[in-house]
Amino acid sequence: MPFPFAPDQYQSQLAAKEAILTELLADWTRPALSVCASQPSHYRMRAEFRIWHDGARSYYAMFDPKNPTVPLEVTEFPVASKLLNRLMDEVMAGVMSDPELRHKLFQVNFLTTQSGDALITLIYHRQLAEDWLERGNHWQSVWGFPVIGRARKQRHVLSRDFVTEQLSIAGQSYDFHQYESSFTQPNAGVCEQMVSWAVAQTLGSQQGDLMEMYCGNGNFSIPLSHNFRLALGTEISRTAVKSAQENISLNRRDNLKIARMASEDLSKAWVKNEPSRRFNEFDMASYDFDTVLVDPPRAGLDEDTISLIQRFRRIVYVSCNPESMVANIAALQGDYRMTACALFDQFPYTHHMEAGVILERC
């Protein structure tokens, strides 16, 4: 298949990642590395496939970066959830039987959940008219899950544009709305372990408050808010902020608020006292921040944000790029000690890995 998948080698590839992360953290005195393994198959909750048309036949396709012009047919995707694999077959059967559904179909995106929900997005290189809406509604009924049709400057949501995921974190169940085209953790099982680890590392913090930057849909901050008096999350994406606010309500967390602002803007407003209307909307004097959680993009933190996080006694740093994380925290040695570290195998059979560290002021 056009994707790395070798379940018989899972433990050896995990051990190799553990060795790499151990070496990256070699400059720190630290406790033993916690390793959170993935299921060896059916762990991925979302996937995107190009649709390749070859005469009377169409099929799912992926591409090798080394030869990006040659489509590689995908008939099954064992790294993805069983529900996603089932829907791959059902959707392709519909595409092949319905000319309106098939015509200039360019891509199909699947978003599934552990709790049995799913969302199907069909993307076209043509405008979608009434005929497509009629057929889309028909197939939505047949497949049993909501369908979205996309084309240039068009987005038809036939019923809803989100799934509801249920995650078990630190012995409690949480519900999360996850929206189409919004970031979600791809490996739900490892996500549960990752957030549970962060919850365990911050127990007994009810006298202080939490700030989370890059909070997304509240994946970390909602469970973590149980450990703190108050919590504030910051996020720049409108869709993620909407989702986070809905998830706060779903999980009845009244001590958590979300501010829509970038970490860079927060740093400028708080550290450099630059004017910010959104920053001023929150009564920052009412917070007694003790802990900050950052889960930045692969590039890591900018210099202003690195300065900002040094205002906190405890730093929870989760990263999809351990190299940028290690570079960011290098300047904190001497002022902070590492009290916990973990490897989260979000992306089996690839070189990518997720890591987390807890730093506490000496």
- Confirm or deny that 295 is annotated as ligand binding: yes
* Cα(178)–Cα(193) distance, integer angstroms: 18
320 is catalytic: yes
- Confirm or deny that 265 is annotated as ligand binding: no
Q: Can you read off the two tokens belonging to residue 144? A: 């049993």
- Confirm or deny that 219 is annotated as ligand binding: yes
Tell me if 354 sits within 8 A of 186, measured CB to CB.
no
Cross-strand pairs, 172 = 169
Of 168, 186, 194, the residue nearest 358 (C-alpha): 194
- Confirm or deny that 280 is annotated as ligand binding: no
Mode of pairing for the β-strands spanning 105-112 and 46-54:
antiparallel
- Confirm or deny that 185 is annotated as ligand binding: yes
In the block, residue with structure tokens 């953790």: 185
Of 313, 304, 362, 302, the residue nearest 211 (C-alpha): 313
215 is catalytic: no
The total of other beta-carbon atoms located within 10 Å of residue 100's CB is 16
**Angstrom distances, CA of residue 275 to CA of 42, 269, 271:** 48, 6, 11
Strand order in the sheet with 289-294: 34-36, 336-344, 354-361, 314-319, 289-294, 209-213, 231-235, 256-260
Q: Which of 36, 191, 215, 320 is catalytic?
A: 320
CA angle at 90 for the pair 88 and 93, rounded to the nearest 5°: 105
Tell me if 263 sits within 8 A of 332, measured CB to CB.
no
Q: Mind giving me the DSSP string for 274-335?
A: ---HHHHTS-GGG--EEEEEE---TT---HHHHHHHTTSSEEEEEES-HHHHHHHHGGGBTT
Q: Which of 180, 354, 360, 362 is catalytic?
A: 354
Contacts within 8 Å (CB) and 24+ apart, 167-174: 167/114, 167/191, 167/192, 167/195, 168/192, 169/195, 169/196, 169/199, 169/223, 170/195, 170/196, 170/199, 170/200, 170/223, 172/223, 172/226, 174/222, 174/223, 174/247, 174/251
Known binding-site residue numbers for S-adenosyl-L-methionine: 185, 214, 219, 235, 295
| Catalytic site positions | 320, 354
Q: Which residues are annotated as a binding site?
A: 185, 214, 219, 235, 295
